[in-house]
Structure 1
Amino acid sequence: MARKVIRRYLPDPAAIKEKPALQFLGDLLHDPNLFHLNRHSVSLAFFFGVFFAFLPVPGQMVLAALCALWVRCNMPITLALVWITNPLTYAPIFFATYQLGRWILDAPTLANSSEHNWAWLMEEFSLIWKPLMLGSIITGLILGGISYIAMQLFWRWHVLRAWEHRKLRRKSRDSE
């Protein structure tokens, strides 16, 4: 089943619950829904993990973890997917989401400057934050929705394939 494929890559729930750094969460981590590997829980984890990965805000993982606690989806998968945007990928991803937001808002392009320092960034931030957030939210919603649907379809395909294999095994057993 798809569950077996995913379980190979996830940490053990008991090991997560025993981490001293997570003891402040108390009984919240003892909710079995946070570690379930079923179609609904994993699909929601894919949606929220991808959505929060595309938000250009500090603390993406904290926001994703709080959301996983709130909607009770698989937390390890949600947190792993937030790392789609990492130090190697965040620049091209956020540039693309900024361009999408700039296109939607019909905002002017930024003036090219030879100096890219903190003062320049603070000055230009007032111009780029709206297109960046709009593009990021739209991209996160679209790609999150696509990943939700893809996981639903993958899970269904995997279950149907397992049923077909069982049918074939039963037929071969019955014909012997």
Structure 2
Amino acid sequence: MKKQLRRLLPDAQSLRQRKGLGWLAPWLGREQLWYLSRHSVALGMALGVFFGLLTPFAQIILAVMAAIALRANVAAAALSTLVTNPLTFAPIYYLAYRLGNFLLGGEGGAGVSFSGDASWWSDLSGVGKPLLLGLVLIALVLAPLVYLAVSTLWRLSSAWAWQRRKARRQAL
């Protein structure tokens, strides 16, 4: 599993050169933040998903700062913020709005109507609270699930590799 992750994850040098992350260079050089262990990668991915869902801007910077503070894998945190990208952004935010609207007791069918008059601004301002509630709930539920899924897959992958090595040794 480590070999596949090494190919997918960015290295320290590429993140140091990234615009906006240069000021984090002193911390990005710490070896423990790049170590590929079950806990550090799972925590990094959970942080990345959390900030990727919760914030529409500065996702990578916030995820990297949290990974540094919690000693998680920085590359996994940065890469997993891509959970929201141009293809997934609209469906995730629509789902978050619908969830928040449902929990706040909204009628569920109301939306923004761009009819050309000034009322669209009041319609748009009503989206904020349900959207924020939905995003927070999705992020709070999905981040721990990502941690558990990555941790479990890592453990299973290690167990399968150990079983294959054991079988090879017994075959000799």
Matched letter for residue 137 of structure 1? V
> For residues 40-72 of structure 1, what are the alpha-carbon distances to aligned partners after superposition, in whole Å with 9 as ceiling and x for unaligned?
011101211111121143222222122112112
Tell me the secondary structure at the aligned position of residue 62 of structure 2. helix
Q: Cα gap change, 1:148/1:94 in structure 2, threshold over 3 Å: closer, same or farther? A: same
Residue 55 to residue 69, structure 1, CA distance change in 2 (3 Å):
same
CA deviation after TM superposition for structure 1 residue 99, in Å: 0.4
What letter is aligned with 1:170? R
Structure 2 partner of 1:139: 138
Instruction: Please tell me whether the aligned partners of residues 28 and 69 of structure 1 are also in contact (alpha carbons under 8 angstroms).
Output: yes
Structure 1 pair 112–158 and aligned structure 2 pair: CA distance change class (3 A): closer
Matches within 5 A, 1:43-122: 43-109=42-108, 110=110, 113-115=113-115, 122=121
Which segments of 5 or more consecutive residues in structure 2 lack a partner in the other structure?
Answer: none
Q: Provide the rounded CA distance (Å) in 1 between the counterparts of 2:55 and 2:14.
A: 30
Unaligned runs of 5+ in 1: none
Structure-2 change in CA distance of 1:122 and 1:71 (3 Å): farther
Shift of the alpha carbon at 1:136? 0.6
Displacement of 1:107: 2.4
Contact 1:56–1:133 (CA under 8 A) maintained in structure 2: no
Q: Where do 4+ consecutive residues of structure 1 move more than 6 Å?
A: none
User: Take 1:122 and 1:67, find their aligned partners in 2: how far apart are those partners?
Assistant: 35
CA separation in 1, counterparts of 2:162 and 2:88? 39
1:165 maps to which residue?
164
Q: 1:132 to 1:20 in 2, by over 3 A?
A: closer
Report the AA paired with residue 135 of structure 2. S
- TM-score normalised by length of structure 1: 0.84
Conservation of the 8 A alpha-carbon contact between 2:54 and 2:139: yes
Displacement of 1:171 after TM fit? 0.8
| Greater RCO structure (CA 8 Å; 6+ sep) | 1
How many pairs align? Answer: 170
